[in-house]
Structure 1
Amino acid sequence: MQLSFEKVLKRETFRVVLDMQIYTSMVATFVAVFGLFASGEWKTLHGEMRGFAKGEVSYVMTVAWTAVVWQVCAVGVVGLIFMVSSLFSNVISTLSLAITPIASVIVFHDKMNGVKVISMLMAFWGFVSYIYQNHLDDVKARRIRSDTNNSSNDVGGPW
C-alpha cells in the first residue's frame, strides 16, 4: 500500500487515503455479497438473526456497528501508512490484536484461554521488538552523526 502511495498514486493527501479505503472496501463488499448469494448462504441469514440470543435488533446493530468500526479502523491503518510507514501501521495493528482479547474479557466477560494468552504475548513481543529495534537504530544514527561531526571538526587543523 505504501508503494502504491509513492509510485502509482503519486499524491499524498487525505483524499487519496479515503479513496483508497473506499475503493478497496467496495471491491471487498461486492466479492462478499457475490459469495453470499453464490453459496446460497443468504437463505440462512434470517434464521441466524432470529437465533441471536439478544434479539433481532441487537443482531442488526452488532453487524452494522462492527462494519462501521472496521471502516474506521481501516481508515486509521491506511492513514498510518500514509503518515508514517507501512511497518509502523502493521506494528500498531499487531498491538491492537493483543489489546482486543483483553477488552473482550473486560467488556463482554469473555473467557481467557491459553490460545488467547499466547497470541497476546506474541503480539506484545512483536511490539516490544519493534520499539527496541527502533531504539537501536536511533542510537546508531546518533553515534554516526556524532562521529561525523567530530571527524569534520578535526579536518581543519588546530586553527
Structure 2
Amino acid sequence: MKIYTAFVATLASLVGLFASGEWKTLEGEMHMFSPGKVSYVMTVLWTAISWQIASVGVVGLIFVVSSLFSNVISTLALPIIPVFAVIFFHDKMDGIKIIAMLIAIWGFISYGYQLYVDDKKSRKTSSSVEENS
C-alpha cells in the first residue's frame, strides 16, 4: 500500500512541476545553490532516499510492533528534524521553525500525558472490577 501511495504522490508532484512551468527554473536553482551543482543533486537525491527509508521504517514498525508505537516515533521525530537541518545543512533557525518545533514538542508531551492518564484510568477501573468480583 505504501508503494502505491508514494507512486501517486510522485506522479502528482511531477504533473504539478510540469504544469506550473517550475521545471524551467530547476537548472537556475541548481546553479544558484552555493555549495555547487553536485551538492544540489546529492542533497535532493539523499533527501528522497532518506524519506523512502523513513516511510518503510514506519510501516515496518506498524507490522512488527504496533501502529501506536509507530505514531509515537513519528511524533518524536518531528521536532528533531529541524535540529538536524541546522546541524548538518547549516540552515538558519528562525522564529517560525522555533514555534513549529515547540508545537511539535508540546504535541508529543500531550500525547504521552494522555497515554499516562488513560493507563492510570484503566488500571483504576480494572482494580475496582477485581475488587467487586
Structure 2 partner of 1:17: none
SS in 2 for 1:141: helix
Mapped contact 1:91–1:126 kept (Cα < 8 A): no
Measured against aligned partners, the alpha-carbon deviations of 1:91-124 in whole angstroms (never above 9, x if no partner) come to 4333322111222223333332222222211111
Greater relative contact order, per chain length (Cα 8 Å cut-off, separation 6+): 1
- The letter for the 2-side match of 1:33 is L
Structure 2: distance between partners of 1:58 and 1:89: 32
Structure 2: distance between partners of 1:53 and 1:61: 13
Matches within 5 A, 1:15-30: 20-30=1-11
Which residue, 84, 90, 109 being the options, matches 2:66? 84
**Aligned pairs, number:** 132
Which residue, 40, 48, 54 being the options, matches 2:21? 40
SS in 2 for 1:137: helix
SS in 2 for 1:140: helix
TM-score under structure 1 normalisation? 0.72
Structure 1: distance between partners of 2:132 and 2:53: 50
- The letter for the 2-side match of 1:112 is M
Given the superposition, is the C-alpha separation of residues 104 and 134 from structure 1 closer, same or farther in structure 2, using an over 3 Å criterion?
A: same
TM-score under structure 2 normalisation? 0.84
Identity between Structure 1 and Structure 2 (%): 62
Over the aligned positions, Cα root-mean-square deviation in angstroms equals 2.0
Matches within 5 A, 1:58-97: 58-82=39-63, 83-85=65-67, 89-97=70-78
Given the superposition, is the C-alpha separation of residues 50 and 97 from structure 1 closer, same or farther in structure 2, using an over 3 Å criterion?
A: same
Matches within 5 A, 1:1-159: 20-82=1-63, 83-85=65-67, 89-152=70-133
- The letter for the 2-side match of 1:73 is A
Structure 1's unaligned 5+ residue stretches are 1-19, 153-159
Structure 2's unaligned 5+ residue stretches are none
